[in-house]
Amino acid sequence: MDSYLLLKKELDFQDIRISKSPSNRNIVPNFEKQIQSLWEEDLKKAKSEGYKRWDSILYRLNSFSVNNDELYFDLGEVNFSTAVGLKSINKIKPLNINSFSKALFINSLVITTDNKYVFGVRNNTKIRDMIGGVISKSEMEVNNGKDLERFLLVELKEECNIDIFHIKSVKFLGLIQSRSTRISISCKTNLNISSFELENIFKSRLDNELEALDFVEYCDLEGYLGNFDGYQKIMKNFI
């Protein structure tokens, strides 16, 4: 199954309402037995490649609805190890969508004042990717839309060394169901600094999750996103 668009609606994060319920993921006993062994394999792979991996509790999207100009999320929980296992299982034998982890992660189109779109080059894999990360309850509680926005602000700081005073605006753009069985909260971040200024700021970052930044012209953006084979390709709907 390919990734696909769930929702396209530009909003301020303050217009997102949060409720919480137990997870409504469909549990398949045979798959659950495989998850632990797949997680152990993942840990071994991470160690061999020289980076750390640990389990945590992630928020998952039980359901969502739109009412006028407000968006309602009902959140459950799922272990990171479960999300990793289900991603691997889904590659071998496609799961019913009700068994998806639906673990939430947040990512953003980041735009400089000279209209360059910012992507990162992962330090451990050298893969180009969007700026963002998982929505982990173990790191921070989510009680409202602004808490989701704070997760993005943390990722921008950790990955790119972007501070709040470098940001002009942040908008929610929509939701993407990823083929990894997770769900992307897709955003747009407009900066008040140029690509040259960001490049210099990036050099003094404390976190080395990214080894470099990749700057893409608007005229090249659709083709750039089209080269991905995951949720990133669907981001073309938001440009």
For the segment 11-36, what is each residue's pLDDT rounded down to a tens digit?
999 999 999 999 999 998 888 888 98
pLDDT for 19: 98
Q: What is the pLDDT of residues 134-172, one digit of tens each?
A: 999 999 999 999 999 999 999 999 999 999 999 999 999
pLDDT band at residue 45, thresholds of 50, 70 and 90? confident
pLDDT band at residue 218, thresholds of 50, 70 and 90? very high
What's the CATH superfamily of 4-238? Answer: Nucleoside Triphosphate Pyrophosphohydrolase (3.90.79.10)
Type of residue at 27: I
pLDDT for 135: 96
198 backbone dihedrals φ, ψ, rounded to 5°: -65, -40
Global model pTM greater than 0.75: yes
Instruction: Give the mean pLDDT of the chain.
Output: 94
For the chain, first and last CA: distance in Å?
A: 23
Q: Do residues 209 and 123 make contact, with C-beta atoms less than 8 angstroms apart?
A: yes
pLDDT for 109: 98
pLDDT for 36: 87
Share of the chain above pLDDT 70, in %: 100
The alpha-helical segments, DSSP class H, found in 20-138 are: 29-48, 80-92
Q: Do residues 173 and 10 make contact, with C-beta atoms less than 8 angstroms apart?
A: yes
pLDDT for 93: 85
Q: Which residues pair with residue 31 across a beta bridge? A: none
For residues 229 and 74, the model is more confident at: 74
Total Cβ atoms within 10 A of residue 208: 10
For residues 31 and 177, the model is more confident at: 177
For residues 46 and 215, the model is more confident at: 215
